[in-house]
Amino acid sequence: MEPPQLIRIANISGRYLVFDPDAVSALRRKANTNGTLVGTTPQQPTQNIFLGLPIELRPEEVDALIRTNVAYVVDDVAAHQSALQSLDHDSRRAYISSLRLRKQTAHKVFAEMNAQKASIAAKKAERQRDSTSTPASTNPATPDDLKSDGSPFSRNSQVTLLGVTPTSSVNYVSPNAHALPVEPRNSEQGSLCQFMLGNGYYMTPGLRFGARYSVYPGDPLRFHAHFMANEYGWEEEIPILDIVGGGRLATAVKKAFLIGGRPPSTSPDTALPAVRSFSIEWAGM
């Protein structure tokens, strides 16, 4: 990807977050990375069933994106503080103008919707008047008296009360401000994730299946997971109960249990690390 197309990942209190919906879409389509939705809506701040933006990325996913030159990490707090302190009068005026333009656009859309509703209501009232042959003086409502949406408030009052809350600060924070020189970690942890992502798989947290990752052959919205995966160090002893339990559980839910790790002799600097993996399936079930 070209440098202007690099995806901005915000580092906030050690968590890697992506707020831009276009960046989230690009991650899903081009980098096999969907992350985990962790945001709530302003109208329902306590809801925890259908979460929204931002998405949170695991450290190993961020490592994979940096290695493949897809994204970069920014200290988001420092970037915002610097932008607010150095924001000159012209920049502030331009930002306020952009907010006003967005509000005017929302007003226009809202007015068009109200005009369409008023036209439909007027035609409906006219058909009712023609069908009942009721004199105009006794008609319960005329087109001039109809409200745009049936509420006791007029259209003008609704437009006046309409406000736009910005959901992103890209208009006044420089995209490349305070980019962190994050180097991919030279450790065995995360190599399996990078290896699977590099081979076109999608990965989500696999806690509900008793594993570290759920591995999908394509977008999780279209496919079921094929593997439940755990990563181990090359010299790490793997408890036999982990293999038995993981194999039985994965097979019971029609998946295979995958374990893997990176040999210590291989170089971690490559975009796709060499990983030795094994697929375990419990027979006779």
Question: Is residue 224 flagged as an active site residue?
Answer: yes
Residue type, 244: V
Q: How far is it, in rounded angstroms, from Cα 54 to Cα 8?
A: 12
| Dihedral, CA of residue 40, residue 41, residue 47 and residue 53, to nearest 10 | -30
Token pair for 257: 């249990």
Closest by CA position to 250, among listed 218, 283, 276, 277:
283
Helix, strand, coil percentages in the chain from 3-state DSSP, rounded to 5: 40, 20, 45
Active-site pick, 72, 80, 216, 226: 216
Question: Is residue 216 flagged as an active site residue?
Answer: yes
Token pair for 114: 């109200």
Q: How far is it, in rounded angstroms, from Cα 166 to Cα 102?
A: 9
Active-site pick, 30, 108, 123, 224: 224
Hey, which residues are catalytic here? 216, 224, 255
